[in-house]
Structures are given as structure tokens and as C-alpha cells.
Amino acid sequence: MDDRLIQGRLTAALQSSTNSPRERRFPWDDDEFAHRFVKITDENAQVWRPPEPDVIRLLDIWNNRTSHTGALLPSILELACGTGRHSIALAWAGCNVVGVDIGASAIERALEKAQGHKGGNLGFVHADIATYDPGRQFDLIPLLSKQCVTFSAIDLAAIIRHYMGFLTNDGCLILEIPGQLPDPDVKYRKPGEHKMLFSDGPYWEMQLTEVDSARRLVLDRYAVLTEADDLVTGYTNCRTYYTADWIAQMLPYGSSITVHSRRSQLDWCVISNRPLSP
């Protein structure tokens, strides 16, 4: 296939998609797509940082919150746990952990990785965190890996209020918020120059990253031309780069929020049902 022709077709598809109100978002309900995503990202050092610093940070937050010395290790419900890198590390540290994720492929991979852990303090649930009812209270409920960016403000506010009802007296909900907005960009990738996310066979890909700094919105548009059928398909991935002030406006009356900062790491919003002490 002629490279200039391919690039022109992808460019035209992206230009058309920016004028169309219909957008095809990442097909998370497609088992093949979800399986490829898990395969590409699982334990990829270029995608995820090691979980140990976050484990230490979570335990530090818990130790600073408990009202008595010698407190037991916290019970933890990890939202959007993915393939379980945080949940498994927390369980090895001695915490009682439940990880929940909407991706069946991610949960399957998490269960595979957890087979070597015999402590009986680790479990995984395949469920949508927007509606999941854990049926019990937890000390810490983290939503890490910048996962909050994938939810609209209305949905994120509902998730916050929902899980605050499952916190213990000393418990807290922890949201990792993204840092600096990326720069607008256009990238053209040939077969072999990208991860095989959108197809198992060879394909060309063009990615357009649009940034609305006023609303802190980042939209990645993809145009994908597969070699097998010579068709162009468009995908979008929308993210909202929430600030701590925005998160604070989502909280119910009587709750509190503090920002936990640590050098070389993203900020965490620590949310509690207790008001801040004067």
C-alpha cells in the first residue's frame, strides 16, 4: 500500500470525525480488544510504575489516620484494580484486599497472577464499580492509576458518594488525580511502530490528541486502517484531568478532603466522612 495514500486516508478520517457528533469510544465490551489491552499493558514498566511505592504510601496514610497505636493493617477495596498489581502487593504486605474491575480479561489475569498467594486475604470481583455493592465496610478504598480521568464529573461524583457509604469510621476514599495536561499532538504509526491494540493483524494508525485547557479535557482520536479489510475505523478516548478543587465540589456535606503529596508521585485526594479537625 502506498504510504502517502494511507496517511491521506487516515488524515481525512480524523478530520471527518472532528465534525461528527458520533464517536466510537474504545470498545471495552469487545473481549478481543480487552484481552489485547491487558496483554499490552500488564506489568509494562512504560505504562505502570511499580506498585510498592503506592503500597507504602497507602499504609502511611492509614497509620496517620488511626486513633490508636498498634492498629491492625487496613482492609482495602481497590476500585478498577486492573490485573491486580496493587491488590496483590497489598495482600503480600498483609492487608485484607478485594479488587474489583469491569474487565473480565483483567480479572482473569489478576486471578492467574494471584495463584501463588496462599494467605486467604485476597479476592477479585468482576463488576462495574459504578454499581458494585461490596456488602461490607473497608478502611481504605483507593481508585489509583489516574482512573478517575475516565469518568464524567456526574459519574465520578456518584462513585465518590456511593463508596463513602462503605467506609469504616477511620476509613478514607483515595483518588489519584492526574498532573500536567499533555500537549496537543499528531502521531502517524506504521505496522511494527505501535502496540497491537486495535487488531491482531497489521494496521496503520494515526492519533490526534486534542486538549481543552479551560475544561481540562483531553481527547485522543484514532484512525485505524487494517491491512486485512482495507477499512478505516475511528476510536476516541476522552479524559478529564480533575483538580483537587473540582473533586472537593463533588463531596457531600460533612465530609472532608486533604491532598496527599509525595515527591516524584502524583497527588492523591484523601476523602473522609469526618470533618477536618480545627
pLDDT along the chain (278 residues), means of 10: 90 80 67 87 70 94 74 92 94 96 92 88 95 96 94 95 95 95 96 92 95 94 92 91 96 93 93 77
**pLDDT of res. 71:** 63
Report the chain's terminal Cα–Cα distance, integer Å.
Answer: 68
User: What is the phi/psi pair of residue 219, to 5°?
Assistant: -120, 120
Residues 196, 155 share a domain: no
Domain count, the chain: 2
Residues 129, 57 share a domain: yes
Q: Does residue 277 lie in a domain region?
A: no
Residues 252, 236 share a domain: no
Residues 191, 175 share a domain: no
Q: Does residue 17 lie in a domain region?
A: yes
Domain with 109 in it: what CATH number? Answer: 3.40.50.150
**Percent helix, strand, coil in the chain (nearest 5)?**
30, 30, 40
Q: Does residue 158 lie in a domain region?
A: yes
Q: Does residue 46 lie in a domain region?
A: no
**pLDDT of res. 133:** 97
Domain around 35:
3-41+180-240
**pLDDT of res. 44:** 67
Residues 266, 131 share a domain: yes
C-alpha cell, 250: 463533588
Residues 258, 143 share a domain: yes
**pLDDT of res. 67:** 61
**pLDDT of res. 21:** 46
